[in-house]
Amino acid sequence: MRRPVLLVDDHRVLADSLALSLDLQPDLCCAAVAHTARDGLSMAAAIPYAVAVVDLQLPDADGLDVVARLHEARPAAPIVVLTAHPKADLAQRALAAGAAAFLGKDLGLADILAAIRSADPARPQVQPGLRPSPVALTHRELDVLRQLSQGRDASRTASTLGISLNTARGHIKSVLAKLGVQTQLDAVVAAERLGLITVGSRY
C-alpha cells in the first residue's frame, strides 16, 4: 500500500520534481500538487492523503496558517514543512502550528523522503544544523520586526498584532537597541542581513 502525499508548494520546478520522485518510490505516491494555499486546502478536503508537504511561502496565504488548518482538519496526517527559509525561530513556530517536521528545500532527496516516511507529530523532527539567531529577540519582538519589514508603522503594527501603540513602540525601541541601529528601516535591513527575517516574505 503506497502512502499518498499532498504537495502544497508554489515553486513549480521543485514541486513537480518532488511529485515525480514520490511516484518513483515503491511505498509513496503523489496524491496532488497545489500551487496555492486555497487549492491546497480544497484538495486536502477532497482527496485522501497520508502526509502533507507544505511550503511556508505561498502566494495567497501564510504557510503557517495552512499548516494550522491542515492539522486541525486532519490531525492524523503528519505535515512536513519544506521551506526556502530554514531558520531556527521559524522551525519553532512551524512545530507550534502542528508541523511534524521542518526541512530546508536545499536538503537532499533521500533526507526529504526519509522525513516524509517517518513524519510523526508525536516525535517532531527539525533539520539539524539550523543556525540560531545571532541576536536574541523575543517572539514578540520578532513579530514586530516582521510587521516593520512589511512596511507597517508602529500604529499599524500595534493594530495588526492586537497590542497597544505604546507596547508596540516599546518593542520597536528594544529591537532597534538590540540590532544597534537608529531607524526602523535600518532595523529591517540589519535583521535581513542577520537572517532574522526575509524582506518581502512574511518571515
Partner 1 sequence: MRAVLVRSLSVAVALALLMSVTVWRLADRDAGRFAEQLARRVATALLVPMAAQSFQQPGGFDRAVLLDRLQPFLAGGVVERVKVLAVRGDRATVVFSDEPRAEGLAEGLGRPSVAGVPRDASHRYERSLAGSAKEVFFPFRDAHGQASRLELYVPVDTARPTIVVVLAVLLAGLIVPLIHTRSRRPAFPAGELARRDLARHLHDGVIPELAGARMLVDNLRDAGDADLARAGVTRGELADRLHTVLSSEIGQLRTLLTELVPPEPVGVHLPSAVDGLVDRLRPASALVITTSVPVLPGLPAAVAPVLLSVAGELLRNAIRHASATAVHIAVTAAAGRIRLTVADDGIGFDPHAPVPAGHVGLRLVRDLLREHGGVLAVAPSSGAGATLTATWVMPRPTRCSILPGRLQLCGRNSWLKMRATRASSSACTCGSSSSARKRACCR
Per CB under 8 A, residues contacting partner 1 are: 10-18, 20-21, 23-26, 35, 57, 59, 84-85, 105-110, 149-153, 155-156, 182-183, 185-186, 188-189, 192, 198-200
Q: How far apart are CB 182 and partner 1 at their closest, in Å?
A: 7
Q: Where are the alpha helices (DSSP H) in 100-164?
A: 109-118, 139-149, 154-161
Contacts of 147 (CB under 8 A, 6+ apart): 156, 157, 160, 161
CB nearer to partner 1: give 68 or 143: 143
Contact 172, 166 (CB under 8 A): no
Q: How far apart are CB 198 and partner 1 at their closest, in Å?
A: 8
Q: How far apart are CB 155 and partner 1 at their closest, in Å?
A: 7
Distance CA 175, CA 172 (A): 5
CB nearer to partner 1: give 106 or 162: 106
Q: How far apart are CB 74 and partner 1 at their closest, in Å?
A: 26
CB nearer to partner 1: give 26 or 128: 26
How many H-runs (helices) and E-runs (strands) does the chain carry?
A: 9, 6
Q: How far apart are CB 140 and partner 1 at their closest, in Å?
A: 20
CB nearer to partner 1: give 111 or 120: 111
CB nearer to partner 1: give 73 or 177: 177
Distance CA 99, CA 118 (A): 13
Distance CA 41, CA 138 (A): 31
